[in-house]
Amino acid sequence: MRAEPARYGDRMHSTTGVRVWSVARGVMALIMLAAIIAQLSASLARATELDRDVATTFANFFSFFTILSNLLAAIVLLWAAVWYWTKGRRGADAEPAGLAVALASVSTYMIITGIVYNLLLRNVELPQGSEPIPWSNEVLHLIAPLFLLADVLVAPLRRRLSWRSLWAVVAFPILWVIYTMIRGPLTTNPVSGDPFWYPYPFLNPNSPGGWPSVIIYMIGIAVAIICVGALVVWWGRRAGTTDEAASAVATATTGASKR
């Protein structure tokens, strides 16, 4: 009888599949970092050219949720790639718990970034200090979010997380909103000179909708983050490896290496 072809999921969890995905994570991380650096360089060059406050422009750049999400995601993807090539390929059946929570977190942020930008902000001019670089803009708002979505769905060596990890996932967005709303009225816009600066128009209480509009958007995005985070954790629980199974594999591998 002819053997059935291996399913895609089985191929992804083969040694070759794990290695390929680890390389893809590293390459994607470097592309994301290059996109961030390119846009930052353009913003700072524009600020210098027009004699704007360079320090404020720099701080504003790293106050965008998109930039922070991409930066965190790139760091975590590099962490995952380095972990695999230094430790994970020695028979590990699942990624470390800390790495698993970090991957679930940045995947949630990047998926939200892709949804919010492409539904609400794609045709809106944002106060980033310079014209967006087309390739960088697409990497940060479309390509990287799609990669992190694929990472959730097909990445090998996924560890099954407890539902409590959802608190860790939503912690950063909560802190970012608090930071944004406190910093906003304390920052002078280096482009327009307004005595306030908010990274996104829907968070600006000085807009025509005022605070009621801002609160509605904040509630809507909070619900979206919780829902996406819950889906990411749920998918990991469905497809991942339990702590007990991972520990058993690690113990067996360690014992075999000592013999």
Tens-place pLDDT, residues 182-234: 999 999 999 889 999 999 989 999 988 899 999 999 999 999 999 999 999 99
DSSP 181-250: HHHGGGS--TTT--S---SSGGG-TTSTTHHHHHHHHHHHHHHHHHHHHHHHHHHHHHHSB-HHHHHHHH
pLDDT in tens, 154-189: 988 888 999 999 999 999 999 999 999 999 999 999
CA distances (Å), 12 to each of 3, 39, 156, 203, 235, in order? 18, 34, 6, 41, 16
CA distances (Å), 111 to each of 50, 57, 145, 158, in order? 35, 26, 5, 18
| pLDDT at res. 165 | 94
Helices 65-83, 97-116: inter-axial angle, 10-degree rounding: 150
Separation between Cα atoms, residue 25 and residue 3, nearest integer Å: 32
- Are the beta carbons of 202 and 120 closer than 8 angstroms? yes
As a whole number of Å, the CA-based R_g of the chain is 21
Q: Does 144 score more than 90 pLDDT?
A: yes
Tokens of 143: 């390509």
Separation between Cα atoms, residue 131 and residue 149, nearest integer Å: 27
| pLDDT at res. 232 | 95
**pLDDT band for position 17 (cuts 50, 70, 90):** confident
**pLDDT band for position 132 (cuts 50, 70, 90):** confident
Q: Which residues pair with 159 in a beta bridge?
A: 241
Q: How many CB atoms lie within 10 A of CB 132?
A: 16
| The residue type at 226 | I
Global pTM value: 0.85
| pLDDT at res. 124 | 72
Q: Does 18 score more than 90 pLDDT?
A: no
Q: Does 91 score more than 70 pLDDT?
A: no
**pLDDT band for position 88 (cuts 50, 70, 90):** low
**pLDDT band for position 93 (cuts 50, 70, 90):** confident
Q: Does 12 score more than 70 pLDDT?
A: no
| pLDDT at res. 15 | 77
The percentage of residues in the chain with a pLDDT greater than 70, rounded to a whole number, is: 83
Separation between Cα atoms, residue 145 and residue 151, nearest integer Å: 10
Residue with tokens 């790293």, as numbered in its chain: 62
- Are the beta carbons of 112 and 224 closer than 8 angstroms? yes
| pLDDT at res. 240 | 56
Share the mean pLDDT of the chain. 85
Residues 39-43, mean pLDDT to the nearest whole number: 94
Tokens of 233: 């954790």
Q: Does 249 score more than 60 pLDDT?
A: no
| pLDDT at res. 3 | 40
